[in-house]
Amino acid sequence: MFDCFLAQILVLIMLFLCSVRVLFIKNSRVDSFAAFAPLSLLVSVCIFFCFGFSLLNLALFALSCLVFTTNFRAVLRLSAKLLVDTYNAVFIIFSLLNLLLVIALAVIVVLVRPVKYSASDFNAIKEEHTLTGNLSTLQVRESFFTGERFSGTLFIYEPVITDEITRSLYSENPVLIFASGLRASVQNYEPYFMLLAQKGYTVMAADLYVPELKFLSKYSEGKVGQYLVESKFLRRFMALKEERSNPERFKQILSEEQKAASKKYSALTHLALEIFGDDCKVFYIVDGVDFDSIYSVIDEFNTEPFSNAKGFFSMNRVDEYTSSGYGFIEQTDVLLARGMGIERENKFFIPRYVANKTIKSITESK
């Protein structure tokens, strides 16, 4: 999340330099700063594909388009290597307006920046894998060039092990399994997972985009629209939009998602057994999933030939966790948190508290 903030700042710096240059021209020269207009637009588009759609990314893209349009003729002059000795009044006015908008957006971006953290801060290791297949054939994709369909992203958080005694101690802990919902990605829960890894637990968390979990596309028109709304770049943004624009319909969508929760966790459990071995113990972490769904998964993996499931922990049992379904947005999505009346918090108090509650539940289940 903090990487997205750095990318946004990079675009804003380029937009600032492109807009502020009208105040400093003194001699005839090549207008080289005009090159920042198309470059900032290109980077703002790349941000969508790297970090997904959000209101801030959308605002940044719109502002980049405005600056590029304002500087279009300047870009053409630059490509022709023409000298510039003055700017006309209209261009100066529009550039100054762009400059004010850049400064305003920069202030907002800084105020709602995510909390900076890394796996090393928690003495943890983070691995990321691409998934392919459907819920019944889910597996890790070996290579991007195999041509297999993208079905999701798997994140594995593990503790750093420095000696055999620690390895032996941690090996007794179950693998924790989590599947994200429509309104949050795994990264919105990441501080919590890293805190669990810090305590010696391996966490396997996934964002799934398989055909069986396409709940938003049925309300979209056209194949392209249906594909985009369920893509990893747009799904969370469209789910949050749908929740606010059509709350009654979104309740129905959430109900359908609830019914599919058992299939998600069952698929991830089979994947965990494939990765960590058939005899590994698993423990489920859920956020807003109805208990019947998760109990059905526990029953499945405690019935012969399985004896793997040790129990589950429901995050929304914790009263202090007030953003159920959205993740720990006070660290990862501060703009959304502010909209829900939650302040930015950089001490990780709530994820640490929920992690301790989770560990207590795991201990009691042994």
Buried b (16+ CB within 10 A) or exposed e, 104-126: ebbeebeebbbbebebeebebbb
**Is 335's pLDDT higher than 80?**
yes
pLDDT tens digits, residue range 130-155? 999 888 888 888 766 666 788 899 99
In this prediction, residue 145 carries a pLDDT of 62
275-324 residue pLDDT tens: 999 899 999 999 988 888 999 999 999 988 888 999 999 999 999 999 99
3-state secondary structure of 134: coil
* Average model confidence (pLDDT) across the chain: 89
Residue 179's DSSP bridge partners are 206
- Closest by Cα among 229, 206, 217, 301 to 256: 217
Tokens of 94: 């529009």
User: Which residue carries 């207009």 as its tokens?
Assistant: 37
Q: If pLDDT is split at 50, 70 and 90, which confidence band does 96 have?
A: very high
E strand or H helix at 111: helix 89-111
* Share of residues in the chain with pLDDT > 70 (%): 94
Cα–Cα separations (whole angstroms), residue 285 to 131, 310, 313, 352: 20, 11, 5, 15
Alpha-carbon Rg for the chain, nearest whole angstrom, is 24
pLDDT value for 141: 83
Specify the pTM: 0.90
pLDDT score at 66? 96
Give the bridge partners for 128, in sequence order: 155
* pLDDT confidence band for 210 (50 / 70 / 90): confident
Cβ neighbors of 204 (< 8 A, separation 6 or more) are 154, 155, 156, 175, 176, 177, 178, 268, 271, 272, 275
In the chain, domain spans: 2-111, 119-365
Q: How far apart are CA 253 and CA 5, in angstroms?
A: 31
Quick: pLDDT tens for 30-68: 678 888 999 999 999 999 988 988 999 999 999 999 999
